[in-house]
Amino acid sequence: DSDSSAGADGDSGNGSITMGFAQVGAESGWRSANTKSIEDSAKEAGIDLKFSDAQQKQENQIKAIRSYIQQKVDVIAFSPVVETGWDTVLQEAKRANIPVILTDRAVDSEDTSLYKTFLGSDFVEEGQKAGQWLVDNAADSDVDGDGDIDVVQLEGTTGAAPAIDRGEGFADAISADPKISVIASQTGDFTRDGGKQVMESFLQSEKGIDVVFAHNDDMGLGAIEAIKAAGLTPGKDIKIITVDAVKDGMTALAAGEINYIVECNPLLGPQLMDLAEKVVAGEDVPERVVTEETTFDQEQAAEALPTREY
């Protein structure tokens, strides 16, 4: 096989790498940017990408992973919609000798030999940053002046790592100030519509809401619609803190309708392809790769917007 020319196209052995990627869905602006990053960087790296969208359903992701095993891809990457319930299908991949890379979201499994590495954000830290801003801005956030800072929380998808961890980090940070408390908390499934509906019901059931903490921009944007429909001014009558920093979120932040955003970086594609090449070549990779992130207040959002990629 000595005279096979460079760029030769095979789907196994020395040819190009085939990756099966099982995506969560298309629930948010973050997810769209993440999918585009994965598609673009696969193309750039010459990796043959098989892509599926699970519409936020674990059973669909499991089906997709099984079909990648059947197709004998070189590597499987996925972002698990929820944390638990993966051991069986990951054991099947392991038995078939197909390496698995977790991206964006983690699994909760005792058997860490079921995947090679986990690339993604530290969601607990994101929640802590959101809570820390509130602790630092507590006086300004007691909008109704009753001495308490009453927070409603819009949670991400139930059982998803970012929903669990962001909630945990936030609770941890606000425990520093006994005046701050979460008075109601419900899932909006990381969607704009979900955020809007849950906020509508909170505005009816809860008195004296000072702050919304939304686990992503999209739910915060939905909450803004509900707040406006109730005749209130988002960002003033009710303060809003979100996570992600996608274009629509940053635009609302710069316009004063959101007060603070903790960044979560969706551009995981280049690092994922790099890890995939190493894993397929049998090289060692770190078991955890954490992405670097920042935070934005209203002024910083206005500055960052013109050059923001997504």
The two structure tokens encoding residue 19 = 């990756």
E-only strand ranges, the chain: 18-23, 48-53, 75-78, 100-103, 117-120, 149-155, 180-187, 211-214, 239-244, 260-263, 288-290, 295-296
Shortest spacing between CB 100 and ligand GYE, in angstroms: 17
Nearer to ligand GYE, 180 or 243 (CB): 243
Q: Which of residues 138-177 bind ligand GYE (CB under 6 A)?
A: 162
Q: Which of residues 260-289 bind ligand GYE (CB under 6 A)?
A: 264
Nearer to ligand GYE, 244 or 277 (CB): 244
Q: Can you tell me which of 18, 31, 49, 75 binds ligand GYE, judged by CB under 6 A?
A: 31
- Is 78 a binding residue for ligand GYE by CB under 6 A? The answer is no
The rounded Cα 174 to chain-centroid distance in angstroms is 22
Closest residue by Cα to residue 173 from 218, 213, 210, 120: 213
Q: Which of residues 41-70 bind ligand GYE (CB under 6 A)?
A: none
Integer CA distances (angstroms), 233 to 33, 52, 182, 263, in order? 29, 40, 21, 24
Closest residue by Cα to residue 64 from 55, 6, 303, 297: 55
Separation CA 276–CA 73 (nearest Å): 12
Shortest spacing between CB 115 and ligand GYE, in angstroms: 16
Q: Can you tell me which of 104, 142, 257, 263 binds ligand GYE, judged by CB under 6 A?
A: 104
CB-side neighbour CA atoms (13 Å) of 11: 9
Nearer to ligand GYE, 20 or 249 (CB): 249
Let me know: does 98 contact 74? Beta carbons within 8 Å. Answer: yes
Shortest spacing between CB 37 and ligand GYE, in angstroms: 13
Nearer to ligand GYE, 16 or 271 (CB): 271
Nearer to ligand GYE, 75 or 130 (CB): 130
* 7 Cβ contact list (under 8 Å, min separation 6): none
- Bridge partners for 142 per DSSP: none
Q: Can you tell me which of 27, 74, 165, 257 binds ligand GYE, judged by CB under 6 A?
A: 27
- Is 190 a binding residue for ligand GYE by CB under 6 A? The answer is yes
- Is 105 a binding residue for ligand GYE by CB under 6 A? The answer is yes
- Is 192 a binding residue for ligand GYE by CB under 6 A? The answer is no
- Is 244 a binding residue for ligand GYE by CB under 6 A? The answer is yes
- Is 187 a binding residue for ligand GYE by CB under 6 A? The answer is no
Shortest spacing between CB 30 and ligand GYE, in angstroms: 3
Q: How many of the chain's residues bind ligand GYE (CB under 6 A)?
A: 13
Separation CA 106–CA 118 (nearest Å): 7
Closest residue by Cα to residue 255 from 228, 229, 216: 228
Nearer to ligand GYE, 42 or 164 (CB): 164
Nearer to ligand GYE, 149 or 261 (CB): 261
Let me know: does 130 contact 147? Beta carbons within 8 Å. Answer: no
Interface positions with ligand GYE (CB under 6 A): 27-28, 30-31, 104-105, 162, 190, 216, 218, 243-244, 264
